[in-house]
Amino acid sequence: MATRTVLTLEDDLDGGVADETLRFALGGAEYEIDLSKKNARAFRKQLAPFVEHARKAGGGSRRRGARPPAGRARSTAIRAWAREQGITVSERGRIAARVVERYEAATAAGR
């Protein structure tokens, strides 16, 4: 015997059939809402003036607690410190998190 499962989205505004799930973020919180084509169009239309004047943020989702990217001067300082400590680091690319953590601990202690 075969089983058939049907998933039907319900419009979160009016209870009708939803055609899509919209994802958006506001105030640091992410949201999802299921909407019909009509309500999704209205949602986008209402946001359009704000989106038009806004700037895009970041390059995607960020892990909670992740550090912002290091600047070139900071990376150079970390590499120089690591070499002085006898730690092998590459000339280019990402610096291992453990090296950055050791650098931060060492420089914080010297302040």
What digits encode the pLDDT tens for the residues 59-84? 655 555 555 555 788 888 888 999 99
Average pLDDT, the chain: 84
CATH code (residue 88):
4.10.320.10
Task: State whether 76 and 47 are in the same domain.
Answer: no
Neighbours of 47 (CB within 10 A): 13
Where are the strands (E) in the chain, listed by range? 20-26, 29-35
* Encoded tokens for 58: 């970041």
Per-residue pLDDT at 111 exceeds 60: no
In a domain, 3, yes or no: no
Domain span holding position 99: 72-109
Are the CB atoms for 68 and 58 separated by under 8 Å?
A: no
43, with CB counted inside 10 A (0-12, 13-18, 19+), is middle
In a domain, 99, yes or no: yes
Q: How many domains does the chain have?
A: 2
Read off the pLDDT of residues 18-42 as tens digits, 9 standing for 90 and up.
Answer: 999 999 988 888 999 999 999 999 9
